[in-house]
Amino acid sequence: MTRLRTPLAAVALLSATLMVTGTQAASAAPEKPSLRQLAGRADLLVGTAVDMSALADDTAYRKTTAKDFSSVTAENVMKWEAVEPERGVYDWSKADDLIRFARDNGQAVRGHTLLWHSQLPQWLTSGVADGSIDSDELRGILKNHITTQVKHFKGKIYQWDVVNEVFNEDGTLRESIWLQKLGPSYIADAFRWAHAADPKAKLFVNDYNVEGINAKSTAYYELAKQLRAEGVPVQGFGIQGHLGIQYGFPGDVAANLKRFDDLGMETAFTEVDVRMILPADDTKLARQADDYRRLLDACLATAGCKSFTVWGHTDKYSWIPGVFSGEGAANLLDENYAPKPAYVAVREELASGR
Ligand code: G3I
């Protein structure tokens, strides 16, 4: 399913904006509208994950984060190991810094993430492994963690990734300490606890490799349908959107989003980046731009898709090279903050509206 596009209207909008700006500063190069300005006109939040060390140390990073994005997500500092490094000892300092930055810059905040199998604190994983934390206690710990964290940020987070990456590729539930010790009901419990702590936040499931219709995304669809029928407050489906140009673009993305829309759920792209085997060249960058454009196009075609977040916006701080050896260049801006074809594609796509 493809959205009806209005390229002429888009061009007119961009030119009008350029003309207005141009008359204000005849000699300076005209300022193009920012991504967040264009997204706002399309009733969309455009977001970025934020690396808090970069935000603290790099002025250029602060500028691009503020200028182009209307939503921010903590790349790491709201994860369990960061907020409760010792049992019962909370450290909200870096997460609160992000909330302050967002407030100062008129940005919304996505919460990531309450329950994951990764980046858990050592005291928790070792306690489960050596048997000193049994299943009953683990359930209490999880309830306490979700309640404490969601209450801490109550009213400041518009969407929470409540459970992150709980399915395998074949649609079976992932073996994690949560499934092993608590059984599958931990998922419904997590949503109920989060909702009780902040009834206004929209609560999401979130995963990768669920862009198109496949066994994994269908498992989320069935889970959401079942939980919603039981009155469990699951309101959103988060599609991470970690793509690589070497794998081809996933099929049926818009149809996938639409089926969640039809369930009455919100959808969001939550962690978009498109990596490639290095070195980058013009052909690869064009292909990357096209992948960004197509994901965004699917979001704009879906009424309930209200946010599109990239997982970092500059190649300078991407997680990719550290995990996928020989790959990278996955973001909208290069390492020197120069816009890549993908940035231009996102800008044009936003300008074309819904
Ligand atoms: O905090 C320690 C620091 O104390 C230490 O000095 C440093 C040395 O390596 O490591 C720091 O921890 C790193 C952490 O990021 C914070 O920077 C970890 O090594 C590193 O593995 C961790 O990586 C993060 C990864 O999640 C962990 O799984 C990435 O930055 C982050 O982009 C990535 O994000 C995930 C999403 O949460 C879920 N979806 C997939 C996505 C990409 O993997």
Extract the tokens encoding 3: 């959205």
75 lines ligand 1 (CB under 6 A): yes
85 lines ligand 1 (CB under 6 A): no
- Atom index in ligand 1 nearest the CA of residue 323 equals 43
Is residue 13 in a domain?
no
Please tell me the distance from the alpha carbon of residue 318 to that of residue 44, in angstroms, as a whole number.
24
pLDDT of 18 reads 38
Residues 6 or more apart whose CB falls under 8 angstroms from that of 270 comprise: 73, 110, 112, 161, 204, 206, 238, 239, 240, 241, 307, 309
**Cα(first)–Cα(last) distance of the chain, in Å?**
14
Is residue 306 in a domain?
yes
Is residue 183 in a domain?
yes
Burial 178-197 (b: 16+ CB within 10 A, else e): bbebbeeebbbbbbbbbbeb
Looking at the DSSP assignment, which residues form a beta bridge with residue 237? Answer: 205, 267
Residue nearest to atom 42 of ligand 1 (CA): 319
Is residue 262 in a domain?
yes
State the number of CA atoms in the 13 A half-sphere of 293 facing the CB: 20
Is residue 9 in a domain?
no
271 lines ligand 1 (CB under 6 A): yes
Mind spelling out the 3-state secondary structure of 82-142? HHCCECCECCCHHHHHHHHHHHHCCCEEEEEEEECCCCCCHHHHHHHHCCCCCHHHHHHHH
Which letter does DSSP use for residue 43 in this model?
Answer: T
Distance, C-alpha 221 to centroid of its chain: 18
Domain count, the chain: 1
Residue nearest to atom 29 of ligand 1 (CA): 319
Name the residue range of residue 101's domain. Answer: 34-352
Please tell me the distance from the alpha carbon of residue 205 to that of residue 203, in angstroms, as a whole number.
7
Count how many residues are written for the chain. 354
Please tell me the distance from the alpha carbon of residue 50 to that of residue 160, in angstroms, as a whole number.
16
118 lines ligand 1 (CB under 6 A): yes
Is residue 89 in a domain?
yes
Residue nearest to atom 16 of ligand 1 (CA): 76
CATH (domain of 302) = 3.20.20.80
Residues assigned a catalytic role:
165, 271
Burial (CB count within 10 angstroms: exposed 0-12, middle 13-18, buried 19+), residue 207: buried
Which residue blocks in the chain are alpha helix, DSSP H? Answer: 7-24, 35-41, 52-57, 59-68, 80-83, 93-104, 122-129, 135-152, 177-182, 186-197, 215-229, 253-262, 282-300, 320-323, 341-351
pLDDT in tens, the chain (354 residues): 445 444 334 434 444 443 444 444 456 777 899 999 999 999 999 999 999 999 999 999 999 999 999 999 999 999 999 999 999 999 999 999 999 999 999 999 999 999 999 999 999 999 999 999 999 999 999 999 999 999 999 999 999 999 999 999 999 999 999 999 999 999 999 999 999 999 999 999 999 999 999 999 999 999 999 999 999 999 999 999 999 999 999 999 999 999 999 999 999 999 999 999 999 999 999 999 999 999 999 999 999 999 999 999 999 999 999 999 999 999 999 999 999 999 999 999 999 999
State yes or no: cis peptide before 279, omega within 30 of 0.
yes
pLDDT of 27 reads 62
Question: Is 30 in contact with 21 (CB distance < 8 Å)?
Answer: yes
Is residue 1 in a domain?
no
Is residue 63 in a domain?
yes
